[in-house]
Amino acid sequence: MDLRKRKANELTLVVLISADLSSWFIVLFMDKRYALNYSLIWMFIMTVQIMSKVFFGVWVYKLYKEAYTDILTGLYNRRYFYKRLPNAIMKIPFSLLLIDIDNFKSINDTYGHVVGDFVLRQFADILRSKARKDDIIARWGGEEFVMALPQTGVDEAFHIADAIRKAVEGHYFCCEGVTCNITVSIGIASIDERADIDDIEQFFVTADKALYKAKENKNYITVAKM
């Protein structure tokens, strides 16, 4: 369920509840020819209907959040990213960032998983702060994250990636009396109007190769054109 579908479903729920509320008030001020008990029965039925729709609306939204959200960071998960990517990739120029936290295992080994989880959540906040309105951020797995940048050429993608790198490098991650610093390596795959965009997986292969080269240096960014 993408953003447009979610908003359409939310609007549908609002329309249905509004219709029930309108009927509820019509019955409330119904003509005196109907008995009071009859009106009260219909008002009770409509009240139950409204409450049921609100309950199921909240329930469906909760299921949506669980299906498409990473529970630890609150970012989108890989499933949602794959659903959004085909539309995003059509907004060329397009760039993809693969971001990996350097030596993250050492943080878990040295300070424990509680601190490691805190670092991941704080890092997710940094990514959100650097993302633009149409960018899509997801936790790809473990300490690896991905960002889709629609209508973004390689130069602007590098600028965004470098802003993320510098923000992470200068941030102090503090949790339960522990303070640590981390760095990130970033691989960028970029496409322009002249390139073939039929193979989405090739984007990830290209970005992953760029990330591999970046991690040879650590705290580094490598760019690869498609």
Residue positions annotated with a catalytic role? 143
Burial 145-180 (b: 16+ CB within 10 A, else e): bbbbbbebbbeebbebbeebbeebeeeebebeeeeb
| 3-state secondary structure string across the chain | CCHHHHHHHHHHHHHHHHHHHHHHHHHHCCCCCCCHHHHHHHHHHHHHHHHHHHHHHHHHHHHHHHHHECCCCCCECHHHHHHHHHHHCCCCCEEEEEEEECCHHHHHHHHCHHHHHHHHHHHHHHHHHHCCCCCEEEEEECCEEEEEECCCCHHHHHHHHHHHHHHHHCCCEEECCEEECCCEEEEEEEECCCCCCCCHHHHHHHHHHHHHHHHCCCCCEEEEEC
Structure tokens of 120? 């991941």
